[in-house]
Amino acid sequence: MKGSKLKKPSNNPSVFKIAQIWRIICFISMSTSLGVFLVSKGWEAIDKEQIYIKGAMNTPREEILGAMKLNLPKAILEINPKQIEENINRDLSVQAVSVNRRLTPLSIEVKIVERIPKAFALRRGKNGQEKGMIDEKGYWIPIFKSSQNKAHSLELIVDGWSQQNQKLISIILRNEQKLGSQLKRIIFKPNGNIVLQTEDFLFIYLGNNPAVLKQQIKSIKQLSKSLPHELIQSSSTILDLKNHLKPKLFLPKEIDISK
């Protein structure tokens, strides 16, 4: 019985040419269809109901929509995601934001990474004292209705926050564990002086020299360990560290706490 012979692929140039033509036709057809779809969908207008926000647990939706600064309804191709990201970063205190356009379904997706509150904060505004929160880097976080419970649960207080003090706050918070006892309050006086309150000391006067702040923090821990236990336990010890090389201890009646 003779074995069946396998047919070799045709080497006819015309067959290859026809196949190539069909591939080109299919490619052009698909590209045209995709282009028509993009154009038709891209110029459809979207409204705020088609904006989906993720990750915003404490920032109200209306605050984010307002910060986006979009005049809706608007064609999705006319919306610039990068511009929206810049607007949100400028107007809201968020750690990160990303904005993406979607054609199927037609929508805008906004992903927010919120700052994590570290302390309750007070600052002086145009209309008097304002309440807020700060994160570990000292950034101001507004208090909305959805974040009021979180704000009230924070034990640490920063009094006198300003952008000028933000870096100093960050340094203190990063070195909080080096203080020797729990930090309760950071106070910035109008004259620039820094005052701390801890579990061991009623007041710690640091003055207004940021260059020696880290050295002052080290001195606080050393003094917390070396001072008599009874003195610290009284919770009325006042430490003057404006000159960290010559620390001074005072009783509350012996110093003016307004300075």
Same domain, 110 and 128: no
> Based on the domain organization, do 183 and 245 belong to the same domain?
yes
- 256: exposed, middle or buried (C-beta count within 10 Å: 0-12, 13-18, 19+)? exposed
| Residues 242 and 158 grouped into a single domain | yes
Strands (E), the chain: 45-46, 51-54, 74-75, 94-103, 106-114, 119-125, 128-134, 140-142, 157-159, 183-188, 194-198, 203-207, 238-240, 248-250
The pLDDT of residue 255 is 45
Q: Is residue 99 in a domain?
A: yes
Residues 201 and 248 in one domain: yes
Question: Is 178 a domain residue?
Answer: yes
Give residue 194's Cα distance to chain centre: 25
Same domain, 77 and 191: no
- Domain co-membership, 232 together with 161: yes
Q: What is the mean pLDDT of residues 184-212?
A: 94
Q: Are residues 123 and 250 in the same domain?
A: yes
User: At which of 85, 114, 143 does a domain end?
Assistant: 114
**pTM for the full predicted model:** 0.77
96 part of a folded domain: yes
d(CA 227, CA 224): 6
* CATH (domain of 85): 3.10.20.310
In tens, the pLDDT along 171-185 reads 999 999 989 889 999
Residues 124 and 201 in one domain: yes
Lowest mean pLDDT among 18-32, 96-110, 133-147, 183-197: 18-32
pLDDT at 257: 45
Is it the case that residue 162 has pLDDT exceeding 60? yes
User: pLDDT tens digits, residue range 12-24?
Assistant: 666 666 667 667 7
Same domain, 61 and 186: no
Q: Does residue 86 form part of some domain?
A: yes
* Domain contains 36: no
Residue 41's pLDDT is 59
246 within domain boundaries? yes
pLDDT at 4 over 70: no
Q: Judge whether residue 44 has pLDDT over 50.
A: yes
Long-range CB contacts for residues 210-216, cutoff 8 Å, separation at least 24:
210/167, 210/168, 210/171, 212/244, 213/168, 213/171, 213/172, 214/171, 214/175, 215/244, 216/241, 216/244
Residues 6+ apart with CB under 8 A from 104: 41
Look up tokens 């809201």; give the residue: 92
Same domain, 127 and 250: yes
Q: Does 236 lie in the same domain as 131? A: yes
Residue 216 belongs to domain with CATH number: 3.40.50
Q: Is the pLDDT of residue 49 over 60?
A: yes
Single out the residue in 114, 130, 150 at which a domain terminates: 114
Task: Specify if 241 maps to a domain.
Answer: yes
C-alpha atoms less than 13 angstroms from C-alpha of 152 in its C-beta half-sphere: 6
Q: How many domains does the chain have?
A: 2
Q: How far apart are CA 151 and CA 171, in angstroms?
A: 22
Which whole number is the average pLDDT over 146-152?
90
Question: CA geometry: angle at 190 spanning 188 and 194, to 5°?
Answer: 30
Q: Residues 99, 188: one domain?
A: no
Question: pLDDT confidence of 231, banded at 50, 70, 90?
Answer: low
The amino acid occupying position 120 is: F
Distance CA 259, CA 256 (A): 6
Residue-range definition of the domain harbouring residue 102: 45-114
Asked, for residue 8, whether it belongs to a domain, the answer is no
Of the candidate ranges 92-101, 206-215, 241-250, the one whose mean pLDDT is the lowest: 241-250
What number is the average pLDDT over the span 225-234?
A: 71
Residue 140 confidence (pLDDT) above 60: yes
